[in-house]
Amino acid sequence: MDVVFNRVGKRYGQRDALMDLTFEMPSGEMAFLTGHSGAGKSTLLRLLLLLERVSSGQIIVGGQSLAKIKASGIPKYRRDFGIVFQDHQLLSDRSVYHNVALPLEIAGFTKRDVDRRVRAALDKVGLLDRERAEPDTLSGGEQQRVGIARAVVARPKILIADEPTGNLDPQLSAEIMGLFAAFNSVGVTVIVASHDLALISRMPHRILTLDQGSLLTVGSERGLN
């Protein structure tokens, strides 16, 4: 699904978190979102996930204007997304398997399908042998990979990651980014918010740089071809 931001603004009281933001992401693109903390990365993702509504302008996802989605339609809209959190947000009271299965259970897949898909997703992130483990017994990198498995298990159209490598060492970070690139290569639109410039500038994807709520550069599409 493609994502279009058209002159989007978001105000919190007197402060502009985002101003006049315009960019387009064609379906199947992978892009990085970067900028200092407070530059508006999180706000942008929150608007995209309809955790907040825009103050001005409009966001169009897959041809649909988000302004037209009512509160009751938000859960369904979010099922098009896979979300990877910085602190992975795994539920500690259930096994790796059941954490990954959660989006499928919400979407109503049969047990057999849940089983297949969970195993496939865990296999992709290299954790098939840990499906019975409790999340707390895993290392940071493994936990993040479980989070990624959960984000992709329902085959989302758009994958969003908010600082997914924030707590990981460079080598693990590179592995995680490699996973995202792999999902992108099968047609999933991927947006990764990260301030790890050293890492993302090595990758052949567009970088959107935010500064104080405005888009500084749309580009650096070097290597896209």
Partner 1 sequence: MATVPSGSSVGAGPRSVIATWLYHHRQAALTSCEKLFAESVASFLTIMVIGIALALPNLGFSLATTLQDQIAKLNAPPQLSILMEPQITFNETAQLRERLMRRPGIAQVELIDRDDALADFTASAGLEALLERLGTNPLPHSLWVYPKANVRDAGLDQLRIDLSALPGVSNVILDSRWLTRLNSFSELMKTTAVVLFFVMAAGVVLTLGNTLRLAIEARREEIIVIKLIGGGDAFARRPFLYTGLLTGCLGGLMAGLLSFAAAMVLKSPINRLLELYDQPEVMLSLAISDLLVLIGIGSTLGLMSAWYSVQLHLARIKPR
Contacts with partner 1 by CB under 8 A lie at 49, 51, 72, 75-81, 83, 89, 91, 93, 102-103, 105-110, 112-114, 116-117, 120, 150, 154-157
Q: Toward partner 1, which CB reaches closer, 53 or 116?
A: 116
Tell me how far apart the alpha carbons of residues 86 and 163 are, in angstroms, rounded to a whole number.
Answer: 5
Q: Give the three-class secondary structure for 59.
A: strand
Q: Toward partner 1, which CB reaches closer, 24 or 105?
A: 105
Q: Toward partner 1, which CB reaches closer, 8 or 154?
A: 154
The nearest distance, CB 48 to partner 1, in angstroms, is 12
Q: Toward partner 1, which CB reaches closer, 155 or 174?
A: 155
Lookup: tokens for 148: 């990624």
The nearest distance, CB 127 to partner 1, in angstroms, is 17
**58-63 contacts: CB < 8 A, separation 24 or more?**
58/6, 58/7, 58/8, 59/3, 59/4, 59/5, 59/6, 59/8, 60/3, 60/4, 60/6, 61/1, 61/2, 61/3, 61/4, 61/158, 62/1, 62/2, 62/27, 62/157, 63/2
Strands 30-34 and 206-211: parallel
The nearest distance, CB 93 to partner 1, in angstroms, is 8
The nearest distance, CB 107 to partner 1, in angstroms, is 5
Q: Toward partner 1, which CB reaches closer, 147 or 209?
A: 147
The nearest distance, CB 163 to partner 1, in angstroms, is 14
